[in-house]
Amino acid sequence: MKNLIDKLRNTQNLSREELLILLKEEDEETLEYLRKSAEEVRIENYGKDIYLRGLIEFTSYCKNDCLYCGLRRSNKNAERYRLTMEQILDCCKQGYQLGFRTFVLQGGEDNYFTDEKITDIVKSIKQNYPDCAITLSVGEKSKESYQKFFDAGAERYLLRHETADAEHYKKLHPKELTLENRMNCLKNLKEIGYQVGCGFMVGSPYQTDENLVSDLLFIKKFKPHMVGIGPFISHKDTPFKDEKNGTLEKTLKLLAIIRLLHPKVLLPSTTALGTIHHKGRELGILWGANVVMPNLSPTNVRKKYMLYDNKICTGDEAAECKYCMEKRMESIGYKVVCCRGDYKDFKSFSREN
Ligand code: 5AD
Ligand code: FES
């Protein structure tokens, strides 16, 4: 098995069958070898730096009805909110003072936020903080809309593909949402010139190891700049309320495999990982991740952005989260750095083409 791991590390390539074998591996010593290899590759590419992203959850309204998500429109118990432009800029101000140089604007698919409104927000942030990167995560839009946001100054976009298997996709989403459209959005984003992030939940209902291998092969082929993965966690007001959560072990194993498969990828140790285990985010880093995304949303709305039950950090101020994260990373010998944290090879002048 160690030679499979070496092969993956040296060639960034394994067959479907080989990936499946690796994914099913349970032997502790072998898994430690996998972890160590991923950590080494991470250090070769990014040292012991941890990139920070300030997450601003600016709307909890969503027109979609994904079966796993607490923000789904059918969830009548969800409290909805929208941040004003002023509130968003205020989050950025606080974040900037704390050393954040990337802001991630994330929200449900909310038609109140027209292209014009989003463009205005992006422009205002860019004007006030020209040295910061703006990441958008607002779901599926037309190529024209993505282009407008890009022209306004957004340079990164997160859109998890959720699963690379069309049949599995159908089991997680209502019929209006298709894998085909999701993949098309990802392709458009890349064509425009964004740094693009895809990703998936680990242990989502009906997911098989074969599905996960498809996710890995998709990542290998698509070569995203970022990959967001975290365990599925059930939400009490969704159709998946009684489904089992994804596990720590499986998520860590996948983080390590993704690092080896795609060495320069920006890989967050997610809040969901921190939610299923008190040291989840530290462990994610030790298994190959290199990004953390503390929350900058105003404290009074935090509990209303509940994608899943028991989400952590919902009572803390931005400054506390930043401080807590610094301590956590120091405790494992890593260092949170104050910079934009771009993808290593990314040619920022590609904007000019
Ligand atoms: N558990 C874990 N992750 C979830 N997401 C949505 N709902 C859940 C859940 N119940 C993830 C999805 C989405 C991202 C914003 O959050 O992958 O793309
Ligand atoms: Fe909002 Fe899925 S419920 S995007």
CATH of the domain at 234: 3.20.20.70
**pTM of the entire predicted model:** 0.96
How high is the pLDDT of residue 348? 47
3-class secondary-structure state, position 145: helix
How high is the pLDDT of residue 273? 98
Which mutation among 201, 238, 271 tests ligand 1's pocket best, with the greatest number of atoms within 8 A of CB? 201
Cα separation, 245 vs 163, in Å, equals: 16
Distance 177 CA to ligand 1 centre (A): 15
How high is the pLDDT of residue 349? 42
Note the ligand closest to the C-alpha atom of 160: 1
> Is 25 among the domain residues?
no
How high is the pLDDT of residue 344? 86
Q: How many CB atoms lie within 10 A of CB 223?
A: 12
**Would you say the C-alpha torsion 300, 304, 310, 311 has a positive or negative sign?**
negative
Neighbouring-strand partners of residue 199? 228
> Is 348 among the domain residues?
no
Of 353, 265, 280, 346, nearest in space to 310 by CA: 280
* Number of domains, the chain: 1
Task: Judge contact between 181 and 213, C-beta under 8 A.
Answer: no
With a 6 A CB cut-off, is 92 part of the ligand 2 pocket?
no
With a 6 A CB cut-off, is 182 part of the ligand 2 pocket?
no
How high is the pLDDT of residue 261? 98
With a 6 A CB cut-off, is 78 part of the ligand 2 pocket?
no
Give, in order, the Cα–Cα distances in Å from 134 to each of 99, 101, 324, 338. 15, 9, 23, 15
With a 6 A CB cut-off, is 60 part of the ligand 2 pocket?
no
Distance 201 CA to ligand 1 centre (A): 7
Of 313, 314, 293, nearest in space to 303 by CA: 314
Of 217, 198, 204, 214, nearest in space to 251 by CA: 204
Give, in order, the Cα–Cα distances in Å from 268 to each of 64, 338, 348. 25, 16, 21
Name every residue whose Cβ is closer than 8 Å to that of residue 264 and which is 6 or more positions away in sequence: 45, 343, 344, 345
With a 6 A CB cut-off, is 137 part of the ligand 2 pocket?
no
Tokens of 251: 């998520």
Give pLDDT tens digits along the chain (353 positions): 999 999 999 999 999 999 999 999 999 999 999 999 999 999 999 999 999 999 999 999 999 999 999 999 999 999 999 999 999 999 999 999 999 999 999 999 999 999 999 999 999 999 999 999 999 999 999 999 999 999 999 999 999 999 999 999 999 999 999 999 999 999 999 999 999 999 999 999 999 999 999 999 999 999 999 999 999 999 999 999 999 999 999 999 999 999 999 999 999 999 999 999 999 999 999 999 999 999 999 999 999 999 999 999 999 899 999 999 999 999 999 999 999 999 987 554 444 33
Ligand 1 atom index nearest CA of 235: 10
> Is 16 among the domain residues?
no
How high is the pLDDT of residue 52? 97
> Is 262 among the domain residues?
yes
With a 6 A CB cut-off, is 72 part of the ligand 2 pocket?
yes
With a 6 A CB cut-off, is 311 part of the ligand 1 pocket?
no
Domain with 292 in it: 2-10+30-341
Residue type, 150: F
**Would you say the C-alpha torsion 60, 61, 62, 67 has a positive or negative sign?**
positive
> Is 95 among the domain residues?
yes
> Is 352 among the domain residues?
no
| Ramachandran angles phi, psi of 242, nearest 5° | -100, 10
How high is the pLDDT of residue 210? 98
> Is 23 among the domain residues?
no
> Is 22 among the domain residues?
no
With a 6 A CB cut-off, is 109 part of the ligand 2 pocket?
yes
Residue type, 269: S
Tokens of 304: 């209303």
Instruction: Name the residue with the closest Cα to ligand 1, atom 18.
Output: 160
Task: Judge contact between 108 and 60, C-beta under 8 A.
Answer: yes
Q: How many residues does the chain have?
A: 353
Q: What is the dihedral of CA 166, 171, 173, 175, to 10 degrees?
A: 80
Scored b (16 or more CB within 10 A) or e, 245-278 reads: bbebebbbbbbbbbbbbbbbbbbbbbbbbbbbbe
**Would you say the C-alpha torsion 189, 45, 125, 320 has a positive or negative sign?**
positive
